[in-house]
Copies of this chain bind each other. A is one copy, B any other.
Amino acid sequence: MNAFSHNSHYSTASAIALTANVVAFPPIRRADPAPEPVDTSIVIDGEVIATDDRGNPLDGGPLDAAENSEEPGDTAPEDSAPDAKPVELPASAMVDRAALTKAFDIVKRVVERRSTVPILSNAMLAANGESIAITATDLDKEIRVTVPAAIDAHFATTVPAHMLETFLKKAAKGDFVALNTHPSIDAATVEFERVKYRLNTLPVADFPMLTAGEFPHRFTMSGKEFWSMVDGTRCAVSTEETRYYLNGIFMHVLELGNRNVLRLVATDGHRLYMQETTAPDGAGPDMGGRGGGDFMPGAIIPRGTIELVYALTKGKACPDSIDVAVSDRYVEFAFDNVKIVSKLIDGTFPDYQRVIPTGNDKVATFDAAEMLEAVESVSLISHERGRAAKFTLEDGQCVLSVNNPDSGSATATIACRFKGQGDEPVSVEIGFNTGYLKSLLGDAAPDGGEIIGEFSDAGSPTVFRGTREGWTGVLMPMRV
């Protein structure tokens, strides 16, 4: 937290000093004594920061305080407070530019660039106490990032998210940003050292917020482990909208032997990826009691939400831990200063276990990097995506070949052990989609190493396992 944020009534003079040479700050309405919170507030995380004009808290606002909603899961700004008015008091906040830039870089991922609903292009800024909460939504999921700020009065407004993000990234100089709301003219100003922007705002009462209700199941995992599980399954998620129940990762808990296992599964009908780990406390029964006696219900987390969490927890951004909460219709992810609430896909994930063959008795062992290089090399001759390559497996070598009548052909050969159950030599000629196989090799062995493929015949699914712990991949062959 920055030094300035401890003093929420920072002197107006010090704010002006930042820009005195060039752009004069607008007069800041001093909030001393501060207005009654109940008069100027919407409720965010339990704090009231906006009310309607009768002094009642606005409905449809809070993420965590919506237990009183009759229909959790509906976004209901219109039918809850038709005559709601936003905060009417001008107010100011000083924020560290780097922190605010990072926050907008995160929330903008949920904001469509060109939405037909204007308010969905905006992010909600709610200043409260010593922080500003920035919220964005696409009606299916909602993200909130909280950053420290020096505030002279509680306020809430909505501003164009991508535009403000651009200002924060690109505007001329200035380590701090002064945000000023002017509700009477539906505008906010954003001031850097040499530049001042005035932005049109939209009423905060119109901002649709998800009312997720209570989450009966909660568990915490290492950020790295959760990211890795998503990393091992996300590529197999279907993008085909007709089978909408495959457009996400199926997260569920099951009893396997004498332990409870948390499993993520994704399939697009051509391949299936499965990643499991010991179920954390809270996800299954008798594993710590927090989850009660029931297993967490199976949840299909939509692809968009998966990709959002994946991107925000990748590499250096990976948090130490991530809190996951699940209800029948919602999932919540919380880490660092970020909270994401998303609807689940309302459907039944197919009985995927039937797809995984158990009797494949011909086993190939090869090096992931060598195979990847060979697949990439032969697929260069393909014009269209999804062109198949033929794999001729014998004990000793695997020959890959691709034929493209338009341009020519390619062959590559790599070393490979290939054994059946008995002593007799075995061979298989089988076709795979090179795009799927490339992706699978990287997913099965992200750091390289040996891959094991279990084959039956040219028409049957093949099971792959690599160096990624707890991971199984199934790939359907193609006719070649």
* Chain A residues close to B by CB (< 8 Å): 22-23, 160, 163, 166-167, 170-173, 187, 192, 194-200, 373-374, 376-378, 380-381, 406-414
Partner of A381, one of B173, B197, B378, B413: B197
**Bound CA–CA A410/B197 (angstroms):** 4
In the complex, the answer to whether A160 meets B407 with C-beta atoms within 8 Å is: yes
Name which residue of chain B comes closest to A411, CB basis.
Answer: B196
Partner of A376, one of B22, B170, B200: B170
Q: Give the residues in chain B near A167, CB-CB below 8 Å.
A: 377, 380
In the complex, the answer to whether B194 meets A380 with C-beta atoms within 8 Å is: no
What are 6 contact pairs spanning A and B, CB under 8 A?
Answer: A170-B376, A172-B412, A173-B373, A194-B412, A195-B412, A197-B381
Shortest distance between the CB of A262 and any CB in chain B (Å): 38
Name which residue of chain B comes closest to A403, CB basis.
Answer: B198
Q: Give the residues in chain B near A198, CB-CB below 8 Å.
A: 408-410
Q: Give the residues in chain B near A199, CB-CB below 8 Å.
A: 407-408
Q: Give the residues in chain B near A23, CB-CB below 8 Å.
A: 411-413
Shortest distance between the CB of A192 and any CB in chain B (Å): 8
Partner of A22, one of B194, B373, B413: B413
In the complex, the answer to whether A163 meets B381 with C-beta atoms within 8 Å is: yes
**Bound CA–CA A166/B377 (angstroms):** 9
In the complex, the answer to whether B409 meets A197 with C-beta atoms within 8 Å is: yes
Q: Give the residues in chain B near A196, CB-CB below 8 Å.
A: 410-412
In the complex, the answer to whether B170 meets A377 with C-beta atoms within 8 Å is: yes
**Bound CA–CA A228/B476 (angstroms):** 56
**Bound CA–CA A195/B376 (angstroms):** 10
Task: Across the A-B interface, give the 4 residue pairs with the lowest CB-CB distance, nearest first.
Answer: A172-B373, A199-B408, A195-B377, A195-B412
Name which residue of chain B comes closest to A22, CB basis.
Answer: B413
Most buried by B among A160, A167, A172, A378: A172
Shortest distance between the CB of A97 and any CB in chain B (Å): 13
With contacts A22-B413, A412-B195 taken as known, whether A172 is within 8 angstroms of B374 at the C-beta atoms is: yes
In the complex, the answer to whether B408 meets A200 with C-beta atoms within 8 Å is: yes
Name which residue of chain B comes closest to A23, CB basis.
Answer: B413
With contacts A171-B380, A172-B373 taken as known, whether A411 is within 8 angstroms of B195 at the C-beta atoms is: yes
Name which residue of chain B comes closest to A187, CB basis.
Answer: B408
Q: Give the residues in chain B near A166, CB-CB below 8 Å.
A: 380
Q: Give the residues in chain B near A406, CB-CB below 8 Å.
A: 200
**Bound CA–CA A172/B369 (angstroms):** 10
Q: Give the residues in chain B near A413, CB-CB below 8 Å.
A: 22-23, 194
Q: Give the residues in chain B near A197, CB-CB below 8 Å.
A: 380-381, 408-410
Shortest distance between the CB of A200 and any CB in chain B (Å): 5
Q: Give the residues in chain B near A171, CB-CB below 8 Å.
A: 377, 380
**Bound CA–CA A185/B373 (angstroms):** 29
**Bound CA–CA A187/B409 (angstroms):** 10
**Bound CA–CA A22/B374 (angstroms):** 12
Q: Give the residues in chain B near A22, CB-CB below 8 Å.
A: 413
**Bound CA–CA A199/B406 (angstroms):** 9
Q: Give the residues in chain B near A195, CB-CB below 8 Å.
A: 374, 377-378, 410-412
Name which residue of chain B comes closest to A189, CB basis.
Answer: B408
**Bound CA–CA A469/B74 (angstroms):** 65
Name which residue of chain B comes closest to A374, CB basis.
Answer: B172
Q: Give the residues in chain B near A408, CB-CB below 8 Å.
A: 187, 197-200
